[in-house]
Amino acid sequence: MTIDQITTLLEPIVDPDLGKPLSELGAIHRVEVDGTAVRVYLELVQPIHWIAKRLEHACTSTITANFPTAEVEIMVRETGLPTSQRSRGIAGVKNLIAIASGKGGVGKSTMAANIAAALAQQGASVGLLDADVYGPSQPTMYGLAGQQMRAERGEDGKIIGHPNESHGVKVASIGFVMERDQAAILRGPMLAGYFSTLVDQIVWGDLDFLLFDLPPGTGDIQLTMTQRIPLTGAVIITTPQEIAVADVRRSIQMFRKVNVDVLGIVENMSYFVPPDAPEKRYHIFGEGGGRSISNEYQVPFLGEVPIEMRIRAGGDSGTPFVLDPESGSQGEAIRQIAASIVAEVRKANERVSDTTVRIEL
């Protein structure tokens, strides 16, 4: 067993998110062979939750298929510039993802809450910023309603806000700093001001993901918010019907105008399976809208989530549905969407590291 033999075996293994072999990605950092002991150091584009275990397994089984006596150890390290280091960002935050929709009430907050919980379940450190000035819902969805954000004055006199934590997710809401009915009487620029203040004051610590639950629509507030922070990308939530899809077009155009990648479309409330007739599927809000818009704009379709009473109930009771051990195939659909988002984030991060190299040359 030599270093070259092991390297040759590993080079063609494909990173399933990026669709490229490890050799092309420069992912095989170092290989050590000492008798029967093999140690491989991989460097994978961040975030590696969801993918590290699969690639570790693929590498180990490839090596042992050829050298059955080998004792293999795979060490994985993350590479890729965190968003926050690319431009003025939020300290410690690697990936900033907006959860947006054109139309209101399509389940943006519900999906943001569940995707955040699914990411945390995989071991990622996750924050959730509820930026919906008109109807902040994350405090309720995470069982934090009525709580204040802990704040203190730093040495330089600046206010430091600490997010509240629930179910392993750090949650901060504009609802923690302003009264619910206040938004209705404030004008756009002032609302955007509140948002900026909130973003400046919160200290998140190290986060793999920070999800933004944006207010519905494509107006000035949404535009200001998306420009205020360097987003890794945006996930757009829609329902299947034509009238919601029309609003998605506007949303995609808004993000393109400010040069934010649309990571993909999630279709929520896609169908309903009656618990007492599981063989039936009712397309209550129509069919196929999410897929057709993703084709039209050439953006990934990230998956569909059915209408499910327990999803609504989870939001109302303060425990995201996906955390329910009995969440079954509906929970799996949401976990799969979270995995697809991670894959798209990794593609975006790989593109950025490509550009960085090109600029240096």
Within 10 angstroms of residue 128's Cβ, the number of other Cβ atoms is 29
Whichever of 18 and 112 has its CB closer to Mg ion, that residue is: 112
CA-closest candidate to residue 176, choices 210, 141, 148: 148
The verdict on 132 binding ligand ATP (CB under 6 A) reads: yes
Choices 30-38, 99-107, 246-254, 336-344; region in contact with ligand ATP by CB under 6 A: 99-107
Coil, strand or helix at 225: helix
Report the nearest approach of ligand ATP to the CB of residue 47 (Å).
24
Contacts of 50 (CB under 8 A, 6+ apart): 122, 339, 342, 343
Decide: residue 359, CB within 10 A, 0-12 exposed, 13-18 middle, 19+ buried. Answer: exposed
Choices 2-10, 124-132, 145-153, 163-171; region in contact with Mg ion by CB under 5 A: 124-132
- The CA-CA-CA angle for residues 186, 108, 315, to 5°, reads 100
The verdict on 137 binding ligand ATP (CB under 6 A) reads: yes
The verdict on 139 binding ligand ATP (CB under 6 A) reads: no
Residue ranges in 263-282 that form contacts with ligand ATP under rule CB under 6 A: 268-269
Select the binding partner of residue 312 from ligand ATP, Mg ion, none (C-beta < 5 to 8 A, by kind): ligand ATP
Whichever of 110 and 166 has its CB closer to ligand ATP, that residue is: 110
CA-closest candidate to residue 338, choices 163, 131, 95, 130: 95
**Which residues on adjacent β-strands are paired with residue 301?**
265
Select the binding partner of residue 305 from Mg ion, ligand ATP, none (C-beta < 5 to 8 A, by kind): ligand ATP
Count the helix, strand and coil residues of the chain and give each as a percent rounded to the nearest 5: 40, 25, 35
Contacts of 346 (CB under 8 A, 6+ apart): 17, 18, 45, 46, 47, 51, 80
The verdict on 105 binding ligand ATP (CB under 6 A) reads: yes
Please tell me whether the peptide bond between 47 and the residue prior to it is cis, using omega within 30 degrees of 0. yes
Select the binding partner of residue 104 from ligand ATP, Mg ion, none (C-beta < 5 to 8 A, by kind): ligand ATP
**From 46, 84, 95, 109, residue interacting with Mg ion (rule: CB under 5 A):** 109
Whichever of 277 and 361 has its CB closer to ligand ATP, that residue is: 277
Site of interaction with Mg ion (CB under 5 A): 108-109, 132, 137
Site of interaction with ligand ATP (CB under 6 A): 101, 104-110, 132, 135, 137, 216, 268-269, 305, 307-308, 311-312, 315
